[in-house]
Amino acid sequence: LLKMLGFTLLDFREVDYAELSEINDFFEILIEIFARNLLKLLKTKQNFQYVRRYDEMRYVRGKIDFKKHCNPARLHLVPCEFYERHLDNLINRTLKYTCFLMSKVVETRKTYRKLRRITDILEPVALTPVSVQRIESITFNRLNIDFKPFIEFCRVFLEHSSLSLQASKMEFFSILIPMERLFEQFVAEVIRKERLHEVFGKDANLEIQKSIGAFLQRNGQRIAEMKPDIIVEVGNSKVVIDTKYKLLEPEDRKLGVSQQDLYQIYAYCRELGANKALLLYPEGLNPIDKEFQNKPFLVGKNGDIELFVRTIALDVDLVKDWGAFVSELKETLSCITQNMKI
């Protein structure tokens, strides 16, 4: 679970799992990993925001406002408009507020010191409550994208916590991990970070969670969008990969794939003009025969879309057997490269 979370919320890849085994509480482990990685990032990079300011100065800074520089009695002061770097912005306020709340509830001394160190680094930032709604308004760019997984973790923490600046103890906290969403993001991020696009060739283009159009509209507004988990484009060919955190039924003639999943993947393929698709599920207690998995279903009235249904084993030690897991995923993806010009 930690390894999967590491590919979605936080970067756990450099974490000493043996050291974490000394911490009994899973909640404490998550905060320790969060604090360790955030502290490491803040030591090398901090999120500044440029704020526009106006001031009368004895030297020129930025742009001179000549319209206001006309009073003979104040010619020694130059009205200037300029931009100033500030640490006190919404991203840093979110980090500081969350770390402050975490420091009030953690029991591990080492984790507490890391959290306090983070709040010290962010000392110029105002300590003020930040709502989940405000966090969701944060936009990321190439300058602050490194902070995105930490802000996402802060959002999850604050969303399920009743802590406040005045509270002396934690009244309630529960972390509910949406496994379906976690599995979807995990597979997509493994493909991206482990460079599994090499399976499709060096010229392949991968798009993750890209909107391909509106599925439902009303009065010109999009109510629902179509967002396949992964789109692979090789030349003029396109492949759709969608992950589902459900168990299949080996005895069922369509392996237990729901009508809803079939309609969804069909809509994706029709919208994109793709003729190959893959539905990827976690392997259950009764694994599907590999030979059967290699035979695609033909979808649509004309049977012009090949749909592969495959499974991937998650009941392995993703820390010790990571290489084997990646190799299995490569082999799983290779089924849809047949007859593609790579």
Residue ranges covered by each domain of the chain: 2-47+88-159, 49-86, 179-337
pLDDT at 162 over 60: no
Quote the percentage of the chain above a pLDDT of 70: 78
Is residue 23 over pLDDT 80?
A: no
Give residue 30's pLDDT band: very low, low, confident or very high (50, 70, 90): confident
Give the Cα separation of 93 and 145 in Å (integer).
16
Whether residue 222 has pLDDT greater than 90: no
Classified as helix, coil or strand, 288 is coil
Predicted confidence (pLDDT) at residue 164 exceeds the cutoff of 80: no
Contact by Cβ (8 Å): 47, 91: yes
Averaged over 120-135, what is the pLDDT?
Answer: 92
Looking at residue 32, its pLDDT comes to 86
Unique residue bearing structure tokens 């709340």: 101
pLDDT, tens digit, for every residue of 40-76?
999 998 888 777 888 887 788 778 787 777 778 777 8
Sign of CA dihedral 228, 234, 235, 238: negative
Residue 289 banded pLDDT, cuts 50, 70, 90: low
CA 284, CA 1: separation in Å to the nearest integer?
16
- Is residue 121 scored above 90 in pLDDT? yes
Look at strands 237-243 and 276-282 and give their pairing.
Answer: parallel
- What is the chain's percent helix, strand, coil content, to nearest 5? 40, 20, 40
Nearest-CA neighbor of 34 among 90, 88, 143, 112?
A: 112
pLDDT at 101 over 70: yes
- Residue 38: which pLDDT band, with cuts at 50, 70 and 90? very high
Residue type, 280: L
Mean pLDDT of the chain: 78
pLDDT at 231 over 50: yes
Least confident piece of the model among 79-93, 165-179, 256-270: 165-179
Above 90 in pLDDT, residue 91? yes
| CATH number for domain 179-337, candidates 3.40.1350, 3.40.1580, 1.10.1760, 3.50.4 | 3.40.1350
- H or E segment to which residue 7 belongs: none
Tokens in use for 146?
């490194």
Q: Which amino acid, 189?
A: E
- Cα separation values, 141 from 21, 91, 138, 148, Å: 36, 12, 10, 10
- Residue 328 reports pLDDT greater than 50: yes
Task: Pick 290 or 281 by higher pLDDT.
Answer: 281
The confidence score (pLDDT) of residue 159 equals 80
Model confidence, pTM: 0.55
Over pLDDT 90: what percentage of the chain?
13
Whole-Å CA distances, 8 to 39, 188, 228, 304: 19, 9, 17, 34
